[in-house]
Chains A and B, each alone.
Chain A
Amino acid sequence: KNQVEQSPQSLIILEGKNCTLQCNYTVSPFSNLRWYKQDTGRGPVSLTIMTFSENTKSNGRYTATLDADTKQSSLHITASQLSDSASYICVVSLKTSYDKVIFGPGTSLSVIP
């Protein structure tokens, strides 16, 4: 069964600290993996996208890693800011004729002063 799991379900960190979010997937055939940031009540916004051959990609203070062998990905946030408070969703695409995606349940991150 194609599935994407994320941990932790929620996380509270102090402003300025780093954190790492995890994503495990059982999706086949794998095409790519993306991390999205979703502010409360808004649509998801893409942070990174990685294909099978890429194992790390950065976007400012966000760094995503991918281990295609173990089917795991992580999103590392450096020097967190209050505006990082959001849900972070891991999305895995299947290699099909169109962009069929499987969404993870998301990790809710709260950055507090």
Chain B
Amino acid sequence: DTGVSQDPRHKITKRGQNVTFRCDPISEHNRLYWYRQTLGQGPEFLTYFQNEAQLEKSRLLSDRFSAERPKGSFSTLEIQRTEQGDSAMYLCASSLKVSLYFGEGSWLTVV
């Protein structure tokens, strides 16, 4: 499979715990994006990487959120001290030029 892959697909965690999601983009894609989506809403932009450089962060990305793309390949999104409001699907997308290719998303439920 040469699409965007995300892991884990589902995560249930207790409030206050830390969670980390991983995204493996399509191999030749230098651009990588993270989005958050809640039920019935469109995806909301979180952050954007070009190669290993994080070029833009949304104000939605509070201090508890951090994203990295250490070697310009895979990326991780960590949420510290999770809150119930963090429950959502976290989508990763990659692109080379114009078209965005999305992964299947990582569902987070904070209980």
Contact = CB atoms under 8 A, between A and B. Distances in A.
B107 A46 contact: no
B48 A42 contact: no
Given A41-B107, A43-B105, A98-B55, A103 B42 contact: yes
Nearest to B41: A105
Given A43-B103, A89-B42, A103-B44, A98 B98 contact: no
B105 A98 contact: no
B29 to A, nearest CB: 11
Chain B interface mostly helix, strand, loop or mixed?
strand
Interface string B24-45: 0000000101010000111111
Interface size of B as a range: 20 to 34
Contacts of A103: 35, 42-44
Contacts of A100: 45, 48, 56
B74 to A, nearest CB: 17
Determine which residue in B40, B43, B91 has the highest number of CB atoms from chain A within 10 A of its CB, and name it.
Answer: B43
B43 A46 contact: no
A99 B102 contact: no
Interface residues of A, number: 23
A49 B95 CA distance: 14
B99 interface: yes
Contacts of B102: 36, 43-45
A98 B42 contact: no
A65 interface: no
A49 B98 contact: yes
Interface of A: 4, 32, 34, 36, 41-46, 49, 89, 91, 93, 98-101, 103-106, 108
- Top 5 closest pairs, chain A to chain B, by CB: A103-B42, A43-B102, A43-B104, A105-B42, A44-B102
